Amino acid sequence: MHTSVAMTDIGRRRKVNQDYVYACDQPVGNLPNLYLVADGMGGHKAGDLASSYAVKKIIEAVSRCTDTRPALILQKSIRYANYQLFQKSKESEDYYGMGTTLVALTVDEKEALAVNIGDSRLYEVTSKGIRQISEDHSLVAELVRKGEITPSEARTHPDKNIITRALGIQEEAQMDLFPFEVEQGNRYLLCSDGLSNMVEDHKLCSLIQKDTSLYNISAELILEANRHGGTDNIAVVLVEIE
């Protein structure tokens, strides 16, 4: 059994919250559980619709998917949500070009699977430290991978908000899958860049390692992001392997 907490906050600068979170510790369709973070983009009417609509369509598709393999369930459901969102974006001028990042996690006993599109992240926190499991689909992440800038330069780069992949902006979704093993006591953080851009990894680690409730930790993570400026919406889903 796993426990989780999902929270989102508008931050200190934005007028609309375009982040959307979902956490279910119980089975969803043939998945044992499901955790999602989506960070919408587009005009102010479009971004919040994109993230909530995509998450709802994923849940709908997972619930009725007859496959039993998590990778197939998630891939099919995300492709379905992508297509639905892409069609939705054509309905109104206000929705034109809308899209969303997505990071998804499902955990089955000792095996877990994450799916990522964009720059929302999945971190693993253990007693040994923190590691990012997902890989950002962003301009600065590409530059870091090519060795053209350092990770610390990426944090303050003027183009750090430019993502190279998103859900809903084209007919076919491009996603990365990350299968990995989990252990009892591990904690997993799914978050939008409103948290990861504001709070450095070592600080995320020390907060998540605290011996307190997931609720308290999640609230503290949001407080910390707002303390550092809160320039964007903040989304947190925290999962503990019990």
Q: pTM of this prediction?
A: 0.96
Beta strand 2-9 pairing with 111-117: unpaired
Below-50 pLDDT ranges, the chain: none
- Comparing CA positions, the residue from 183, 167, 163 lying closest to residue 175 is 167
Could you report the per-residue pLDDT of 21-56, keeping only the tens digit for each? 999 999 999 999 999 999 999 876 798 999 999 999
CA distance 120 to 53: 17
Position 226 scores a pLDDT of: 97
CA distance 235 to 220: 12
Q: DSSP secondary-structure letter at 66?
A: -
- Say which residue the tokens 């978050």 belong to: 191
Q: What is the DSSP string of 78-146?
A: HHHHHHHHHHHTTS-GGGTT-EE-EEEEEEETTEEEEEEESS-EEEEEETTEEEE-S---BHHHHHHHT
Position 109 scores a pLDDT of: 87
